Amino acid sequence: MKKNKLSHLPPIKKLNLTRRHFVKATSALVGAGMLSSYGLPLYAAQNVEEMMAMYKSANMDWESQKGSKIVLSGLEHPWMQSIEPLLPHFTKLTGIDVQVQKQSESEYVAEVPVKLGAGNPTPDVYMVWSYGQAADAGWLESLDQHFDNPNLFDKNWYDLNDIFSSARSFPIWNDGESYVMSITAEAQTMFANQNMLDAIGANVPMTFDELLETGKKLKNDDHAGVAMRSKADGSAGTWPCGGFVFSNGGVVMDNGVCVLDSAEAIEAVQYYGQILNEAGPLGVGNYHWYECLNDYMQEVVAIGMDSSNFATDIENPEKSNAAGHTTYGAMVSGPGKQAKPNMWHWMAGINSKSQNKAAAFLFLTWANSKPTCLMSSALGLATTRTSAWESDGFKSAFGTQAATAALTNLQNADGKIMKDCWFHPQGGEILTPWGIAINEVVTGTKTADKAMKDATQKINKALGV
C-alpha cells in the first residue's frame, strides 16, 4: 500500500496550533513561523470548517457546479502526490467529485495524447506535458473566458501578483490566450555532496571548466564525480543539456529554425559529453533523471545538476544518504558567459472536449489558490506562489538553502528561449533527435560537431524549414 504522507504527520496537539495561527499563516503567508513542515496540511485535515472559511472568503460561487464529477489525470509527480490528499477539501467546498487517474510518466505521455486526439471528453483536467502540442492540436480549453466569469473566479482573492512572473507568462500562448495554469516551478540547480567536496578541498564549481576539473578530482573507485541525464530519449538529456547550451550563449530555436549546430551549442554539448565521459559514472549514457537522483542519494555520485525539485528527496533522510550535507548552487556557465539554467513549470489545463469545463476550472482555481499552495508546499511541493516559497513550512520541507538556490536559478533562467523549443508544436520532433545526439556524444558514438550537425539537419527537415 502506498504511504500517505499525512499518515506520518505528528499529532496535532504537539504542534500547538490555533485557529489564529492558521488564519495568520494563510492570509499573511509569511507568518507561519511556528508551524512545522506538516503542520498546515494536518491542521487543515482536522479543522475542515476553518479551511472552508478560508476558501469561502472568496467572492465567487464555489458551489455553482455542485453534483458534478470530474476526472483529473496526471502522472506520478509531487504535484499529484500533494494534491490528492487534499481533494476531500475540494469536494466538501464545491460538491464536485474528483476521480483521479494516475500513471507513470511514460504511460501517461503515451496514452493521454491518443485519448485527446481521438476527441475523448475525459480527462476533464490534466497535467500538460507538451503545451505546444496540446495547444496547437486544440486539446485545451481557453481559460480566459472563465477568468472573466465572476461566478467562477475572484481575481482579488486569487492574487495573481503572488504568482511568479514566469509562471504567469508561461501559460500565454501565441494567440494571447491562456490555456493552462502553471502548477509547479523548478529550475536547473546544482546539488553537491559537501563532504565529498571537503575531502578534496574543492569549492562548488561555477563554470564548465571548474565542473570538469572538480568532477575528475572527485571521481574514484567509490563514487563518480558528476551525473546528469543522457539516455537516448527526448525527455532525458535535453533538459539539463539545454541549460548548458543557454549558459554558453546558445539557443535551440531561432525564428522557428533549429540552430543546435551553432558554435555555442556544439561547444556546450561537447562540454556536457566530456564532463560525463571523464567524471561521470560508468553507464551514464543510460541515465534518466531517476538514475541521477538515485545515485546522488546513495552517495555514489558527488555532483548532480537537475531539477530543483530533487531537494525534497535529497533532504529526506529516510531516502537519502546525502541528506543534511548537500550544498545547492547556481548553474555553471561557459567561458566568459552568463549562467542561464533551464527551467520548467508543470502546467494543468482543461480538455476542450470536457463536458464539465466550469467544474474543471473551479478545480484549477482551488488547486492554485493561496491556501492550497501553502498546504501543498508544506509537503515539499515547489508551487508557483511566492508566499508558499517564503513560508517556513516549505523551507523546512524543501531546505532553506535549496529554496534560495532554486529561486536564484529561476530568476536567472530565460523562459523565452526555453519555450521556443519545449513549447513548439512539434516539440517531440526537436527533442528526440537532440536527445539522441546528446547520447551519441556521451557514449562516444559521434563527436559533438557531427552529432549536433546531423541532429539539426534532421530536426529542420522534420520542421520543414
Partner 1 sequence: MNSFKKQRTKFIVLMLMPATILLVGLTLFPFIVSLILSFTDYSLLRPGQTKFIFLDNYIELMTTDEFWIALRVTVVFTVLAVLLQVIIGVFIANLLHQETHNISFLRTIYLLPLAITPIAATFTFRLMFNPSLGVFNYFMKSLGFPPQAWLASPSTALFSLIVVDTWQWTPFILLICLGGLASLPNEPFEAAKVDGASNWQIFTKITIPMLYPFIGLALLFRSIDAFKTFDIIYVLTSGGPGILTRTLNLYAFKHGIEFLSMGYAGSIAIIMLIITIVVAQIFLRKNNLLKPKDTFKR
Q: Residue numbers of the site for partner 1 (CB under 8 A)?
A: 106, 109-110, 113-114, 116-119, 133, 136-138, 224, 231-234, 236, 281-287, 291, 295, 298, 300, 425-426, 428-429, 432, 436, 439-440, 443-446
Q: What is the rounded distance in angstroms from the CA atom of residue 142 to the CA atom of residue 352?
A: 8
Spatial contact of 380 and 312, defined as CB atoms under 8 Å apart: yes
Instruction: Between 42 and 196, name the residue whose CB sits nearer to partner 1.
Output: 196
Give residue 164's identity as a one-letter amino acid code. Answer: F
DSSP H helical segments within 334-445, as ranges?
A: 357-367, 370-378, 386-390, 392-398, 400-412, 415-422, 427-442
Minimum Å gap between C-beta 391 and partner 1 is 36
Minimum Å gap between C-beta 329 and partner 1 is 24
Q: What is the rounded distance in angstroms from the CA atom of residue 141 to the CA atom of residue 354?
A: 9
Minimum Å gap between C-beta 440 and partner 1 is 4
Instruction: Between 38 and 287, name the residue whose CB sits nearer to partner 1.
Output: 287
Q: What is the CA angle 34-35-39, rounded to 5?
A: 160
% helix / strand / coil in the chain, to the nearest 5? 50, 15, 35
Q: 101, exposed or middle or buried, with CB in 10 Å at 0-12, 13-18, 19+?
A: middle
Minimum Å gap between C-beta 23 and partner 1 is 47
Instruction: Between 232 and 374, name the residue whose CB sits nearer to partner 1.
Output: 232
Instruction: Between 285 and 393, name the residue whose CB sits nearer to partner 1.
Output: 285
The number of beta carbons lying within 10 Å of the beta carbon of residue 66 is 11
Spatial contact of 99 and 333, defined as CB atoms under 8 Å apart: no
Instruction: Give the pairing type, strands 97-103 and 186-193.
Output: unpaired
Minimum Å gap between C-beta 207 and partner 1 is 27
Give residue 316's identity as a one-letter amino acid code. Answer: N
Minimum Å gap between C-beta 112 and partner 1 is 10
Minimum Å gap between C-beta 443 and partner 1 is 4
Instruction: Between 245 and 436, name the residue whose CB sits nearer to partner 1.
Output: 436
Instruction: Between 60 and 302, name the residue whose CB sits nearer to partner 1.
Output: 302
Instruction: Between 105 and 159, name the residue whose CB sits nearer to partner 1.
Output: 105
